[in-house]
Structure 1
Amino acid sequence: MSKRTLSNLLGKEKKNYEENVAKFRKLNENVNVEGNENFPNRLDDDDFPSTSRVALQNLEYDIDSGDDSVFFEDLDVEDVEVDSYSEDRDNNSENAFLLSTWAVRNNIPQNSVDDLLRTLKLMGVEGLPLSARSLLGTSRQNANIKLIPGGEFLYIGIQFYLWGAEFNVLENCEVVNIDIGIDGLKLFKSSNRCLWPILGYVVGSKLGPFTIACFSGMSKPGSVNDFLRDFCEEVRFLRKNGVKVGSNLVCKLFNIRLFSCDAPARAFVTGVKSHTAKNSCSKCTIEGVHTQRRVSFPKQVGDLRSDSSFKNRIDLSYHSLEFKQAESLLESFNFGMVSQFPLEPMHLVDLGVTKKLLQLLIKKGNVTKMNEKLLLLNRFVPSELSQLSRDLDQISNWNSTEFRQFLLYTGIFVLKDCINEDLYYHFLLLHAGIRFLSCEKSFNVESKVANELLKEFVDLFGKIYGDHLISYNVHGLLHLSDCVREFGPLDNFSAYKFKNYMQHLKKIINKPNKILQQMFFRISETLKISDSSKLSKNDLFIIDFNKDEDSYFQCNKGPIKIVELDKETNSFKALLISNLENYFIEPVESMSGLGICIGEILSNVVLISRSDISYKYFCINDRNKLILVPILHNLFRSFL
C-alpha cells in the first residue's frame, strides 16, 4: 500500500470518527438531573418506575385494590429508544459480544474502547461498531438524578435487578430474602467527594451484591429520611405484592433479612447516638464511662434492647436529638431497629478488636522475630487467601483481610514464642471464639462455648491492658454469639461482600464530574454481559499439586498432600500426613475442637477422588513439621 493510499484511508477514518463524536456529543450534551418519565423524582405508590432492562416486556401485577395501584407501567415500543446497532449485533454478535464482555469486566474506559475499535477497523476486522456506546449497548436514557440535602441521589431499585435468567434459581424459593449494606466510600484522595450506596444481596444466591441506590456528596446525606425514602417505598410495595424473579417473572414473597452496617452507618440510618457516646451499645443498655480521654465500657452485659423498647423510647438517651420523639422513616415502615441490625463482624472484629489487640501486642513482644515469621508465611498462603502479609511495621496500612487472616490462620504461628504465655493464651481465646462462630459446623452447637471464650477474653483484656481500653468494639464481642444464633456464621452477615463490591463502584468512576451518571451507565452495561461473569467464586476452591500451598486437604483417610493426577483413574495420588498432635491445648484442644493440628508427611501413596475431599488446609511448614489450619470456606463444613 502506497503512502498516499494509507494517508487517504487514515484521513477518511479520522473524518468518520469526528462525525461520530459530534453525533454522540449532541445526543448527550444535556444530562437531566430533574428526572424523566421512566425514573420519577419520587417513587409514589401509583407511579413506580419502569426500567430499561425490561422496557419492551408487558409486565402486570395482580394487585389488591388500594393505594399501590401501579408499580410497573407498560411502555410503548415507540417510547423506547433502541440502540441503532442492536439489530446488527443480533445478526453478527459473537465477536461484538465477546469484546463488550471483555471491556465491561476489565472496566476499560470508553475512549480506549473507541481507539481499539478504530484500530480493528483499520486492520480489516468487519462487523464491529465504531463507538464504545454502540458496542456496549450504553443506555440512551438519562439517569434520574435528584437533589436531596447534601448532594445528588440516584435510585435504581430492587426489582430492576432481579429480572434475568441468572435468578431462575429463586423460582424454587418461597421467600426472596435480601440483605442490605449501607456505608460511605471516599472516591478521591484529593477531594472529600464520597459515595453512600444502598446495596443489596440475595441471601443464598451465588451472585454478588447489586446497587439499589447511591448518594454522592461531600459528606454523608444531610437527611436520612430523604436518603431512604425511595427504598422504603419500594420495599413496602414488594412486601405487599411480591417480587418477580427470573426470566419467567415468577412472583415470590419478599423480605428484607438484615442491614449490614458499621457502627457510624448504623447510628446514622437508625437515628441513634454515635459509637463514641456512653449509651451507644446497640444491643444492651449498659452505660460507658469517660476515662483517660475515651469512652470505656463495663465487662458485663446490660438489659438487652428490643424492637419494642426501641420504638417506645425506653432508653431515651440512646436516640439522637432528631429522633427522640419522632420516628425515623425505617421505624415507620416496620423494620426491626434492633433485631435486623446485627453487629457487623468485619468492622467489629477485624478492623476493631484484632487491630487494637495486635497494636498492643507488638509493644510487648519480639517484633523482629514476628516479622521474620510473616515473611516466611508468604510462601504458604493458599490461593483462596490471596492477601500476602505485610510486616508489622506497616500495621497502620493493613486492610481488614490482613487482620482477618492473622486472627484466623497465621497469628497462632506468628505470636508463638514471641510473646509470653499469658498474652498468647489471651490471643487464643479470641482466635478460638471467632473460629467457632465462623465455621458452618460449629457456629450453632458451639455458640455457648464461643460466648464463654469471648467473655473470658473481654475480662482478661481489662486486667492485662487496662479497663479503660475496653472499647465499644471489645464490649460488642459479648453480643456476637447472639447475632450468630440469629443469622448464622459470621460471614453470613459480614460486610466483606459489600466492601468488595464498593471497590468495584469506585473503579467504574473515571472522572470527578457526573459521578452518578457514570455509575448508571456502567451498571446498565454490566447487566448486558454474560450471567456467568456475575457468579461469586466463594464456593470454589483450588487443587493444584504443582503449588505446594494448594495441595493440602482433608479426606476420608485423614490429612493428605496431593502430588499428582492419576490419568488412568482420574484420581489424585496423595501422601498421607500422620503423627498428628494438638498445636495448642488451651483454651480448647486445637485438633478435636478446631481441626488445627501438626503432623509429618508419610511416604505411603493413596488414591483419592475429588468427592473424598472435605476441606482444604492452610499448611505452614515449620522445621519439618506441618501446621495444618482448616480454611473456613463455604465448602468445608466438617472436621473428620
Structure 2
Amino acid sequence: MTLRVRQWRKRQRELDQLLRYSDSDEEGQSVPSSCSSDSVPRTPDSLISDNDLGTSHNFHFDTDVDYCSSDSEQEPNEAEATSFEDELRQWALEHNLTHRALNDLLPILRKQGHLLPVDCRTLLATPRHNTTEPKCGGQYKYYGLEKGICRYLSQMESNDVHLSVNVDGIPLFRSSGVQFWPILVKCGHFDPFIVAMFSGQSKPSPLEEYLNDFVTEYKHLKDNGIAFKGQTYTVNIDALICDAPARAYLKCIKGHTAFESCERCLIRGARVESRVVFNEQECTSRTDDGFSRVEYTNHQTGISPFIAAGIPCVSSFVLDYMHVVCLGVVRRLLIYLTRGPKVCRLSVRQKDAISQKLIALRGKMPSEFARQPWGLQEIDRWKATELRQFLLYTGPVVLKAVLSPEKYQHFLSLTVSMSIMLESDDRIRSAYLQYAQELIKHFVMCSADLYGKTFPVYNVHALIHLHEDASHFNCSLNDISCFPFENYLQQVKKQVRNGRSPLEQVTRRLSEIEQSEVYNRQRHPKVFSSVKEKDSCFLLRDNSFAFVRQRNADGSFACEILHQRHTSPLFQQPCSSGLLNIVCTGNGLCRMKNALLQERDLFRKVACLPFEAGGFVLIPLRHGVEQTY
C-alpha cells in the first residue's frame, strides 16, 4: 500500500507541475495513452525537480482517488475508498465534531486527492427532514424500542433480552429552563439508547400520554417477542433505575419528603426540626400485588401506567445506590462532619488533617479512577464518583485516627456493607449478604445518636432495603445503578450545540450515529498494569498480593509476592480479606518473594495507598465499580 501511495503522490506532483507551467493546451504537450481522454497531460521530465521526486514518509491516510496509471500501477479499489470515508465518519462522531469544523476539514482532504463529499451532511448521512410533534406541553420524539434492541441482537448470546429502563430530567442551559426527559433503555452491558425524548420547560404532563408509546410497544414485544434473522427473542423489563423524584413521578406516589414516602415498607416518618425522619427499624413490607390494587392510599397518588404494562412497581424499581448512598448518605455524612450540629461537627484542625491526607493521595490512585481526591473544602463540588471513591477507598484511610473510635467504626460499617453488595463475584456476595444487611441496620440504628436526630432521613432509611435489590436481581448493585445512564445523558447534552430546536439537533446526531454504529458495543472495564507504583499491585487467586516490577517482551510479569500472613488488618472483621481493606506495614516489604507471572494470574487490581508510619493500605478494586463509564 505504501508503494502505491508513493506512486500516486508522484503522479499528482507531476500534474501540479504541468498546470503550473502550462497556461493553455497550445504548448503541444502530448497526452499519454495510458490516461483517459479527459486527463491532464503529463509533465515533461525536465520540469520535475529533485524535490518533487522525493517521497514522504509522514502520509498516514489511505488514498482513495482515481488517477492515471501505467501498466505497472493499479487504481485503488472502491472498498479502500469506502473504508477511509467510514473511518473519517466514525472519527468525527466519536469526537462530536461540529459540522462547521468538518466542512473546513473536507476541502483540505479533497486537495490531497481523497474522494470525499463536498458537504459533511452527505458524509454523515444527516437526515434532510426531522419531524417532532407537540406533546405533553413541549416537543416529543419517539424513536422506537424494537429498533434500538435490534442493534444488539446479533451480539447477544441468549434469546432472552433483559432490559433496564431509566427516566430522568436533564437541564440543558443555565440561562433557560429548557430540559430533556428521555426514556433510556440498556441491554445487558451495552451502551444505553434512547427510546423517546421530550423537550420542554418542565416535566412532561400528563404522564400517561408521555409513556403511552413506550408502554404500548413494550406490551406488544412482551407478548409476541422480536423476530430477528430467523430467531425469536423474548423481551422483559427487569429493572427501572431512577432517582427518588423520578420514581415518585413514574409510580404516582408521594415524594421523598412525605411521611409515608418509603417505597418498600409501611413506616411512617416524624417531623423533627422541619425534617421528616424515620426512626423505626422493622415495618411491614409493601407488595407488588398490593401496589397494583392501589391499597396504599396514603402512599399512592394515582395509578401508574406501568401497572397496566404488567411491571411490578415495588420490586422492579431499584433504590439506586448512586443517589441513595453516594449523593445521599455519604454527602450528608460529610456535610454533618464539616458544618453540621455540634454533636458531630469536627474541629478546624481535624478538617484540615483530613483534607491534607486526601490531597496527599492525589496522583497515587490507580489509573482506573477518573478523578483524584479533593479536600473537604470542595465537598459541595464533589461528583458521585468522588463520593463513591471516598466511601470505598480513601475514607477508611484518611478518617482513621481523626474521627472518634465510635464514628470511625460507624463509617466502616457502611464501607464494608457496600463493598459486599458491590462485589461482582456472585459467590462471595451471596455468602456475605446477610452480614452486609446486619451492618447496614447497625449504621442506620446508630446514626441518630452519633449525628443528631435530623440525620436519618429518607436516604438513610433506604439503606435498610438495599440488600433486597442485590438479592432480588442476584447481581452487584453496580449493575443496576444510574452511573451508565448519567454518563450517557452527558453525551446527549453535548450534542446540543445551540438553543434553537435542541430536540431536533439530538435527533439528527442520533441518526448520524446509527449510520456508523459507533456506540453499539459492550463496555469492558480497562485494567492498567505497569511498573508505576499506582498501577503495579494486583491480588492473586490465592489472596496474596503481587507487585509488578518488570514487564517482559513475552507478556509475562516479574513480580514480588506478599502473602496475607505478612499483613495486618486495618480493622477486625469476619470477612474475606481479599474483599475488604488490608493494611501492610513497612516490615512486610522484607518478606516479599520473586515470581514470574502471566497476565491471567493477576486476578484483581489493588489500590496501594500510603499509610501512617511508612506503611501502606491495599484495597482490592471492585470490577468495573471504579469506571466513570
TM-score band, normalised by shorter chain: 0.7 to 0.9
Structure 2 CA distance for aligned equivalents of residues 511 and 534 of structure 1: 27
1:19-67 Cα distance to aligned partner (Å, 9 max, x none): xxxxxxxxxxxxxxxxxxxxxxxxxxxxxxxxxxxxxxxxxxxxxxxxx
Give yes or no for the alignment of 1:628 onto 2:614.
no
1:392-449 Cα distance to aligned partner (Å, 9 max, x none): 1010111100000000111001111111111111100110111111112332221111
Give the number of aligned pairs: 538
**Does structure 1 retain, via aligned residues, the 8 Å contact 2:478–2:625?**
no
SS of the residue aligned with 1:409? helix
1:298-350 Cα distance to aligned partner (Å, 9 max, x none): 23132111111112222201012xx1xxx332111211111210211100000
| Mean CA deviation greater in 415-424 or 142-151 | 142-151
Q: CA deviation at 1:559?
A: 0.2
**Does structure 2 retain, via aligned residues, the 8 Å contact 1:285–1:305?**
yes
**Does structure 1 retain, via aligned residues, the 8 Å contact 2:555–2:599?**
no
**Does structure 2 retain, via aligned residues, the 8 Å contact 1:584–1:590?**
no
Of the three residues 221, 224, 230, the one matched with 2:204 is: 221
Give yes or no for the alignment of 1:127 onto 2:115.
yes
- The match for 2:36 is none
Given residue 340 of structure 1, which amino acid in structure 2 is its aligned partner?
A: S
The change in CA–CA distance for 1:483 and 1:635 in structure 2 (over 3 A counts) is closer
Structure 1 CA distance for aligned equivalents of residues 392 and 329 of structure 2: 13
The change in CA–CA distance for 1:176 and 1:266 in structure 2 (over 3 A counts) is same
Give yes or no for the alignment of 1:350 onto 2:326.
yes
**Does structure 1 retain, via aligned residues, the 8 Å contact 2:495–2:509?**
yes
Runs of 5+ in structure 1 lacking a partner? 6-87
**Does structure 2 retain, via aligned residues, the 8 Å contact 1:89–1:96?**
no
Superposition pairs for residues 92-491 of structure 1, below 5 Å?
Answer: 92-121=81-110, 123-140=111-128, 142-164=129-151, 167-170=153-156, 172-203=157-188, 205=189, 207-245=190-228, 248=229, 250-320=231-301, 323=302, 327-362=303-338, 363-364=345-346, 366-441=350-425, 442-487=428-473, 488-491=475-478
Structure 2 CA distance for aligned equivalents of residues 544 and 258 of structure 1: 38
Given residue 152 of structure 1, which amino acid in structure 2 is its aligned partner?
A: Q
| Mean CA deviation greater in 343-352 or 249-258 | 249-258
Superposition pairs for residues 24-43 of structure 1, below 5 Å?
Answer: none
**Does structure 2 retain, via aligned residues, the 8 Å contact 1:196–1:216?**
yes
Q: CA deviation at 1:592?
A: 6.3
Superposition pairs for residues 6-21 of structure 1, below 5 Å?
Answer: none
**Does structure 1 retain, via aligned residues, the 8 Å contact 2:537–2:548?**
yes
Given residue 307 of structure 2, which amino acid in structure 1 is its aligned partner?
A: E
TM-score by length of 1: 0.80
TM-score by length of 2: 0.81
Given residue 506 of structure 1, which amino acid in structure 2 is its aligned partner?
A: K
**Does structure 1 retain, via aligned residues, the 8 Å contact 2:191–2:523?**
no
Superposition pairs for residues 70-109 of structure 1, below 5 Å?
Answer: 92-109=81-98
Runs of 5+ in structure 2 lacking a partner? 1-15, 21-76, 339-344
SS of the residue aligned with 1:388? coil
The Cα RMSD (Å) is 2.3
SS of the residue aligned with 2:484? helix
Structure 2 CA distance for aligned equivalents of residues 387 and 635 of structure 1: 13
Q: CA deviation at 1:468?
A: 2.5
Larger of the two Rg values belongs to structure: 2
Q: CA deviation at 1:598?
A: 2.1
The change in CA–CA distance for 1:414 and 1:134 in structure 2 (over 3 A counts) is same
SS of the residue aligned with 1:594? coil
**Does structure 2 retain, via aligned residues, the 8 Å contact 1:285–1:304?**
yes
Structure 2 CA distance for aligned equivalents of residues 340 and 593 of structure 1: 28
**Does structure 2 retain, via aligned residues, the 8 Å contact 1:559–1:577?**
yes
1:350-400 Cα distance to aligned partner (Å, 9 max, x none): 000010011122332511111111111112111111211121101011110
- The match for 1:71 is none
Structure 2 CA distance for aligned equivalents of residues 396 and 92 of structure 1: 51
Structure 2 CA distance for aligned equivalents of residues 238 and 151 of structure 1: 28
Structure 2 CA distance for aligned equivalents of residues 493 and 478 of structure 1: 17
Q: CA deviation at 1:587?
A: 5.3
Structure 1 CA distance for aligned equivalents of residues 213 and 130 of structure 2: 15
Give yes or no for the alignment of 1:610 onto 2:596.
no
Q: CA deviation at 1:163?
A: 2.8
Structure 1 CA distance for aligned equivalents of residues 106 and 578 of structure 2: 60
